[in-house]
Structure 1
């Protein structure tokens, strides 16, 4: 009998020792192994700052305030909408670093940067300006320690307004004398020009199923497969395929590295979709997606009730499917 057990026996304290100490940890460990194999039970759910500001709420533009709200409601991280950051703050290295420090203090990683660029134009100079902009955005993501950056193709710009584009369900006529076939090489060439910076900074560009050439899974995959680089993959937005969403989401799931999940409590600003999130989760998990789910709330309900409901919905849906 070892000295510790002898002491406990003689002093009558053995009966007070927890079972794991008295009989060894093996049985407790076995029970724990039966209960869990150690893998995460859910995807990490993060809050996109877009959910709060959405280009129309000046009271919620402040990034620090958005980070505080993400912490208050129990999210696992934050995705930043770059357009939301004031230009003067973007030019201030110390201001950008203050966001990083603030998130660190709360234990919330900054996991994504959502950006805008436009390569769908015959104007070579405009494409070059957007290439330079995207390279600068990659460098901002690098400064902030963000591993993935949402990118898009841009649009033809013939709709007049975003409201009109949404009224037409994202479908837009090309400029006179051009077709979408003309635009694919422009977009591919532009992203290829950004690849060296993405690799140097360790930032994955993730092309979203957005508008423009990203309107269909075939368009997205045509660009990503043509470039064929681990530094250009896909952001899956659950709300941007307005018809047959599940079949379309399945097509882009294998190359998805980031997910933006839409909710529409109170009715959508432009449209509402009744999305089956358990089904979407099964599609993504079927293709071994284990990454972040970023909430993009796009409804009219007050964020103080809609965002907690959205988080509960996503936490319930994106539990790991055991097979």
Structure 2
């Protein structure tokens, strides 16, 4: 199955090559000009989910995501969401995304992958199928010049059982991702994955340089039905040593422009002290403001705390 998919993608990889090289050159030149001397220590990216309502409704064109990020929000790095491209997945679609992002001078950072099965499924066949289901997103990420795909570590059973099952699926997928030169990064995204100690233990058990975490400031709810929640500050501290990405979730703001329900000064201090200097992605999920306003307010907050866009 993997061979047939690789053959299918040869066209997309070839068609995207020129635009990827152009984008890479732009990125290198841009980053050479950046310096920590002005107090800026990370780059801001935009998660596509921040505009999910507009994409689902058709108000905005998913194929123009890079153009929207650059022209409407002044952000030149983006994080795709696979759900918007499942139905129309093709080499032609991928090449068009590469063309648009290259034309805008926008860096493609990662693809967030959902609805592709549980990488820690107790059933061996289903776990293997989940790994297979992620291959097309590795291929798309490689064609776009991304650095990673973001996955989930969903499983079932007791704490230690889920630990071993999730580690098995992640290790196997990471070994495949390595052949593409890509990382597999896990978000705290409900269930035991929102338990910082558990997710850190998974990373240690996987023990693969291509496998890491994507700490999300707002995703520490373990059980939505009972309301069980893990301490977000402890959890962030526990999984930041493995971070290859960070998601700056926001829901609402106070009059001073800070996130109303999260201590962003504390969270960003944890991130900075960990030594992380990669992209931090805006992920607006609030209902109190429209999507563009929520995104711009999150951008302003991140810039205040050391972000470059």
**Coarse TM-score class (shorter-chain normalised):** 0.7 to 0.9
8 Å contact kept, 2:152–2:189: yes
- Secondary structure of the residue aligned to 2:283 is strand
Choose the corresponding residue for 1:107, options 97, 102, 105. Answer: 105
Choose the corresponding residue for 2:285, options 285, 298, 301. Answer: 298
Instruction: Look up the match of 2:40.
Output: 41
TM-score by length of 1: 0.73
Q: Report the alpha carbon displacement of residue 154 of structure 1 after superposing the two structures with TM.
A: 2.0
Instruction: Look up the match of 1:6.
Output: none
Q: How many residues align?
A: 258
Instruction: Look up the match of 2:238.
Output: 251
1:221 has 2:200 as partner:
yes
Instruction: Look up the match of 2:176.
Output: 197
- Secondary structure of the residue aligned to 2:139 is helix
CA distance in 2, matches of 1:195, 1:261: 24
8 Å contact kept, 2:155–2:162: no
Choose the corresponding residue for 2:159, options 163, 166, 180. Answer: 180
Query: How has the CA–CA distance of structure 1 residues 142 and 122 changed in structure 2, closer, same or farther, with 3 Å as cutoff?
Result: same
- Secondary structure of the residue aligned to 2:248 is strand
8 Å contact kept, 1:155–1:211: no
Instruction: Look up the match of 1:70.
Output: 69
Written as runs of structure 1 = structure 2, the 5 A alignment for 1:133-172 is 133-156=133-156
1:284 has 2:271 as partner:
yes
Q: Report the alpha carbon displacement of residue 265 of structure 1 after superposing the two structures with TM.
A: 3.1
Residue-by-residue CA offset, 1:90-124 (whole Å, 9 max, x unaligned) = 1x102111111101111111111111241343222
Compare CA radii of gyration and give the structure with the larger one: 1
> What stretches of structure 1 of length at least 5 have no aligned partner?
1-35, 157-177
Query: How has the CA–CA distance of structure 1 residues 247 and 266 changed in structure 2, closer, same or farther, with 3 Å as cutoff?
Result: closer
Query: How has the CA–CA distance of structure 1 residues 185 and 244 changed in structure 2, closer, same or farther, with 3 Å as cutoff?
Result: closer
Q: Report the alpha carbon displacement of residue 266 of structure 1 after superposing the two structures with TM.
A: 7.9
Which shifted more, 95-104 or 67-76? 67-76
Instruction: Look up the match of 2:189.
Output: 210
CA distance in 1, matches of 2:55, 2:253: 16
8 Å contact kept, 2:187–2:193: yes
Instruction: Look up the match of 1:98.
Output: 96
Residue-by-residue CA offset, 1:122-176 (whole Å, 9 max, x unaligned) = 22221111011123321221111110211111254xxxxxxxxxxxxxxxxxxxx
> What stretches of structure 2 of length at least 5 have no aligned partner?
1-34, 221-228
8 Å contact kept, 1:153–1:214: yes
Query: How has the CA–CA distance of structure 1 residues 266 and 65 changed in structure 2, closer, same or farther, with 3 Å as cutoff?
Result: farther
Instruction: Look up the match of 1:311.
Output: 299
8 Å contact kept, 1:47–1:77: yes
- Secondary structure of the residue aligned to 1:136 is helix
Instruction: Look up the match of 1:128.
Output: 128
CA distance in 2, matches of 1:284, 1:56: 30
Residue-by-residue CA offset, 1:235-277 (whole Å, 9 max, x unaligned) = 110111244211221111111110011111389xxxx961222
CA distance in 1, matches of 2:64, 2:307: 29
Q: Which has the higher contact order (CA 8 A, sep 6+)?
A: 2
- Secondary structure of the residue aligned to 1:261 is strand
8 Å contact kept, 2:252–2:261: no
8 Å contact kept, 1:281–1:318: no
Q: Report the alpha carbon displacement of residue 179 of structure 1 after superposing the two structures with TM.
A: 2.4
- Secondary structure of the residue aligned to 1:294 is strand
8 Å contact kept, 1:115–1:151: yes
